[in-house]
């Protein structure tokens, strides 16, 4: 196990960094970091160390954490800064020994030097992830709980992020006949899941509550739904673009809620009132005389109320004529004929 050793006034201070965990210099390139991670992860994978799985599991997690930090440019920069602070301190004097230093001997001695030389790296916030989610128009109006699928790219579970399979298998590129991809052996150790990259696309499901007033295309933020933070830092957020889907005959058009209302034949002809239930709310709709099918009846201010600016749309209901069920009796037919005997029609 590689460790950095520093001597302070005759005392040896031992510390491990992400670089020493992977056996690297601080100037290592991204390719060197990836290669070292593959090598170390393969060496310490718990499946390869059945006789010392507890130790291997601890080392594997440490190696994985080191790689996740150093392979991310932003996290690596913050980590390097933390190493510089840890090594040189931030207070007065060449080593940052400030007010806590003892002056009795005429030279500064570190008081509580462990707080400088073992200072934990500063927390690094995880990155935000963009995603998409669909909700019904009912949820958009009333709010509710939705399930969001958040994509991410992480170490491949099949190979532990090494890019190599535990056992060789027949090369799919040449069907075992031998080619350049398998060094003409017909077999390969490249992980079939991640194609040797060490990374794989995955997604996780997050249930989150949303309030009413969501319009199509609105972005919602799910706190903590992004990539994990480093060194105890907060996780990033998931930024989800919302698509509002129809629910039955109802859909959104801007802030206006569009739907249908059934009106019986007699009420459509002579006028009256009908009642309609919309997502748990009941409304009374005035139907003018001689209302035709397809006419839009508008209820002002009964549409969607925007969650941010609180603007409100209208409820617009398209009339559907609800004809009587079954066949008309001869007497009913005669009544209808007598009503329109003078040539009057609904189109006059």
Q: Which domains does the chain have, with CATH numbers?
A: 4-89 (1.10.287.110), 127-154+208-245 (2.60.260.20), 251-339 (2.60.260.20)
**Cα separation of 83 and 86, whole Å?**
5
SS (H, E, C) 138-207: HHHHHEEEEEEEEEEEEECCCCCCCCEEEEEEECCCCCCCCCHHHCCCCEEEECCCCCCCCEEEEEEEEE
- Residue 13 and residue 26: Cα distance in Å, rounded? 19
151/131 Cα distance (integer angstroms)? 7
CB 200 within 8 A of CB 207: no
Query: Do the Cβ atoms of 131 and 221 come closer than 8 Å?
Result: no
pLDDT per position in the chain (348 positions), as tens?
Answer: 444 443 333 333 335 789 888 988 888 898 888 888 888 888 888 777 888 888 888 888 888 888 888 988 888 888 888 876 655 554 433 333 333 333 333 334 444 444 444 456 788 888 899 999 999 999 999 999 999 998 877 778 778 777 777 777 888 788 878 887 776 778 887 887 887 777 788 888 899 999 999 999 999 999 988 887 877 788 889 999 999 999 889 999 999 999 999 999 889 988 999 999 999 999 999 999 999 999 999 999 999 999 999 999 999 999 999 887 778 788 877 877 777 666 555 444
Q: Which residues, at least 6 apart from 343, have a Cβ–Cβ distance to it below 8 Å?
A: none
Contacts of residue 11, defined as CB under 8 A and 6 or more positions apart, other chains included, come to: none
């Amino acid at each position: 196990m590689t460790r950095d050793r520093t001597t302070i006034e005759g005392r040896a201070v031992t510390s491990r960094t992400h670089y020493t965990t992977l056996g690297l210099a601080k100037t290592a390139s991204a390719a060197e970091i990836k290669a070292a991670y593959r090598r170390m992860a393969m060496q310490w994978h718990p499946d390869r160390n059945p006789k010392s799985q507890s130790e291997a599991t601890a080392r594997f997690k440490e190696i994985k954490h080191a790689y996740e930090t150093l392979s991310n440019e932003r996290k690596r920069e913050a980590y390097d800064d933390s190493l510089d602070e840890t090594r040189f301190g931030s207070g007065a004097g060449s080593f940052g020994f400030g007010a806590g230093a003892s002056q009795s001997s005429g030279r500064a001695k570190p008081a509580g030097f462990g707080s400088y030389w073992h200072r934990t790296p500063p927390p690094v916030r995880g990155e935000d992830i963009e995603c998409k989610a669909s909700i019904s128009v009912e949820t958009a109006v009333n709010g509710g709980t939705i399930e969001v699928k958040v994509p991410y790219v992480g170490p491949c579970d099949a190979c532990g992020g090494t890019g190599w399979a535990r056992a060789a298998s027949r090369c799919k590129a040449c069907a075992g006949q031998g080619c350049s991809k398998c060094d003409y052996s017909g077999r390969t150790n490249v992980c079939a899941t991640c194609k040797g990259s060490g990374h794989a696309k995955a997604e996780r499901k997050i249930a989150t509550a949303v309030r009413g007033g969501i319009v199509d295309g609105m972005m919602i933020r799910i706190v903590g739904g992004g990539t994990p933070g480093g060194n105890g830092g907060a996780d990033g957020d998931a930024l989800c673009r919302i698509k509002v889907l129809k629910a039955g005959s109802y859909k959104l058009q801007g802030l206006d809620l569009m739907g249908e209302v059934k009106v019986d034949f007699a009420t459509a002809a002579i006028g009256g009132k009908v009642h309609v239930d919309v997502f748990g709310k009941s409304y009374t709709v005035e139907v003018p005389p001689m209302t035709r099918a397809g006419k839009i009846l508008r209820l002002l201010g009964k549409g969607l109320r925007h969650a941010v600016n609180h603007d409100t749309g209208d409820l617009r209901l398209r009339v559907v004529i609800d004809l009587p069920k079954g066949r008309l009796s001869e007497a009913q037919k005669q009544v209808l004929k007598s009503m329109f005997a003078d040539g009057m029609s609904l189109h006059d």
